[in-house]
Amino acid sequence: MLTISDLVVRYPKANENALDRINVTINKGEFVCVLGKSGAGKSTFIRSINRLQQPTSGQILWNDVDITTLSEAKMRNVRSDIVMIFQHFNLIPRMTVFQNTLTGSFGRRSPYKNILGLFSEEEKERALKALQEVELEKHIDKRVEALSGGQKQRVGIARALLQDPKMLLGDEPVASLDPSTSRRIFEILKRIHEERELLSIINIHDVNLAKEFATRIIALRDGQLIFDGQPEEVDERMFADIYQ
């Protein structure tokens, strides 16, 4: 369970809070989409959950542990349960699909093995399984720079799966993709979410995708939570309120 209480983020020299007293509880199994126009606080919200952004005040409880109070060393252990899918993929272009996927296991390995690229057969099998989950097993030997945008994002998802996560975060993972590819990525994310019984929170601009795939929708405006409910509740009036 993820419980966020009175979460505030204010950037240095800012006149207003980027997030202003956010209160929300999200349970395992929920697939939550976060809506809001640019500057609403969506990325700050997502990045605060795994403390890529340090909150100014408030609590973030992950399985009853307040992660806002943890040292960086202890936070690294928490992050092993939490994966982030980014808009710009963050892959190594000259490495193959398989090599990029294997880097998802780096956080649980010794730096020595990472530098030398030494992987066990079990780790290689897990990487292949992850690539099968995102339907890229036929492309394992291709260099990432030769892939389409949608394929690159699927590599990013496969890499994340090697952490064996309990929570999946997505910061606009389909913003740079065309509508058809975006929908395919969400189909894959939703299937993985259900098969692995994750808690998933995804930032997205596309209201139609959110309504189709989310089990719950949250909306932010000017750093404030203005909606938290079921997808079918997001009607034209609510859409106008979110994006005014």
How confident is the model over 140-177, as pLDDT tens digits? 899 989 999 899 999 999 988 888 899 999 999 988 88
Distance of CA 45 to the CA centre of its chain: 11
More confident call, 228 vs 87: 228
What's the whole-model pTM score?
0.88
Name the band, by pLDDT with cuts 50, 70 and 90, for residue 49. Answer: very high
Predicted local distance difference test score (pLDDT) of residue 13: 86
| pLDDT(221) > 60 | yes
Query: pLDDT tens for residues 117-126?
Result: 666 788 888 8
Contact 225, 193 (CB under 8 A): no
Helix (H) or strand (E) holding 26: strand 19-26
pLDDT range class, residue 5, cuts 50, 70, 90: very high
d(CA 189, CA 115): 30
